[in-house]
Amino acid sequence: MKITFLLLEAWTVDGTVRSTFTLADELSRRHDVEIVSVRRTADRPVFPLSDRVRLRSLVDVRPGAKVPWPNTERAARLMAEPTRIVHPEERSFSKYSAWTDERLTRFLRRPRTDVLVTTRAGLNLMAARLAPAKVVVVGQEHLQLGINDAGILAEIEEWYPRLDALTCLTAADTAEYGRLLPAGSCPVHTIGNGLPPRVHPRSRQENRLVVAAGRIVWIKGFDLLVDAFAKVVEKHPQWRLRIYGEGPRREEMRRRATRLGLYNHVRMMGPAHDMEGELAKASVLALPSRAEPFGMTIIEAFACGLPVVAFDCPHGPREIITDGADGLLVPPEDSGALAETLIRLIDDEEARRAMAANAAASAERFAVSAVAARWERMLGGLLAAPRRDTGRRGPTLSL
């Protein structure tokens, strides 16, 4: 079968991009796979992608890039105008324009594929409105339903029933979408992200080091982790914390650590080119997120033999971590409990090493080969079954 993934930006550091590339690579071993990016922002992708997978874009926004004649002037004019078909509450609304409207509409009317997989709410909604009925359209959700504002939720409730299927990363989110969407409409499946097929470096559990990684934004809770680590250092001054990532609150976290006297204990490392290598240098991963739709960092840490201490936040950690076996769950947003749990794991080296071994075994559940097999079963069933009347008849919007 021919499978097309539609991303907003394939040339950037982003969890959705990374997981899509990994899945596309695996599926391309048996199927014709391409990735279409709405926007192109760089000369080459950040993440590796097999030559078996075609990658192209609809709009090139690299500095100096020009649209070939005869659309040069039209494209320049429309790129300066706001989108008219993307809801203003879409989290990346500012990245769309009237020109992406035109290019997306043209693509969605005739995607020339058997299966179209769209990867965020704005693209799911457009595909539900515009894609022809003969194409199997699967919407993919990488965020929790509850993170959306009221306007987007209303759009989801109205238009997602026109999708042929929807996938969510956790069973909890699948249940929430199931309650929102009308019974008998779009079927919702739980399919998590997968680890690429390679040998991962393994922690020796010898370094007195805790790591954390992710976008330095409020939802990731690094402020709570820095506060917790101040208490860890009181008992274990020889331990260090490294936080990897970039984001608007990075400098704020640095100042917070300095204010707490942690300038020798907490380091803001920036993005890592070899994150798995950095994980393997540590002994514990801390995940202080206020909300986490899946937790790709958790399974990467597992693969490197790290136990994980995480807030039991909605929704991902509790569906990945087996509390007490490969990690420990902490009451949400409780920095004091986070500190106590980290200290407990630091104090008990025997338990930490046992959890590290269990974590490595747990990672096997998330091999991308198993994830791809679930996708193939779902897509095969959708293609073989009599087509459900979704009400999708092609374009319903005019520009």
In tens, the pLDDT along 36-71 reads 999 999 999 988 999 999 999 999 999 988 888 788
> Distance between CA 178 and CA 184 in Å, rounded?
10
CATH of 209-366, picked from 3.40.50.2000, 3.90.850.10, 3.40.50.300, 3.30.2130.10, is: 3.40.50.2000
To the nearest whole percent, how much of the chain has pLDDT over 90? 83
> CATH topology for 2-195+369-384?
Rossmann fold (3.40.50)
* Over residues 130-138, mean pLDDT: 95
Where does residue 172 rank: exposed (0-12), middle (13-18), buried (19+ CB within 10 A)? Answer: middle
Half-sphere exposure of 144 (CA within 13 A, CB side): 17
Q: What is the reported pLDDT for 391?
A: 74
> CB neighbours of 333 closer than 8 A, spacing ≥ 6?
221, 224, 290, 311, 313
What is the residue-averaged pLDDT of the chain?
A: 93
Q: What is the pLDDT of residues 209-248, one digit of tens each?
A: 999 999 899 999 999 999 999 999 999 999 999 999 999 9
Tokens of 1: 């079968």
- pLDDT score of 399: 41
Indicate where the chain has its CATH 3.40.50.2000 domain(s).
2-195+369-384, 209-366
Pairing of strands 284-287, 308-311: parallel
Predicted local confidence at residue 393, as pLDDT: 61
What number is the average pLDDT over the span 85-95?
92
Q: Between residues 318 and 183, which one has the greater pLDDT?
A: 318
Percentage above 70 pLDDT, the chain: 98
**For residues 120 and 104, what is the distance between their CA atoms, to the nearest angstrom?**
14
**In which residue are the tokens 């200290």 written?**
343
Query: Is it the case that residue 169 has pLDDT exceeding 50?
Result: yes
pLDDT digits (tens, 9 = 90+) for 274-291: 899 999 999 999 999 999
Pick from 25-29, 120-124, 183-187, 282-286: least confident = 183-187
> How far from 2 is each of 51, 263, 361, CA to CA, in Å?
16, 53, 34
CA–CA separation, 322 and 332 (whole Å): 16
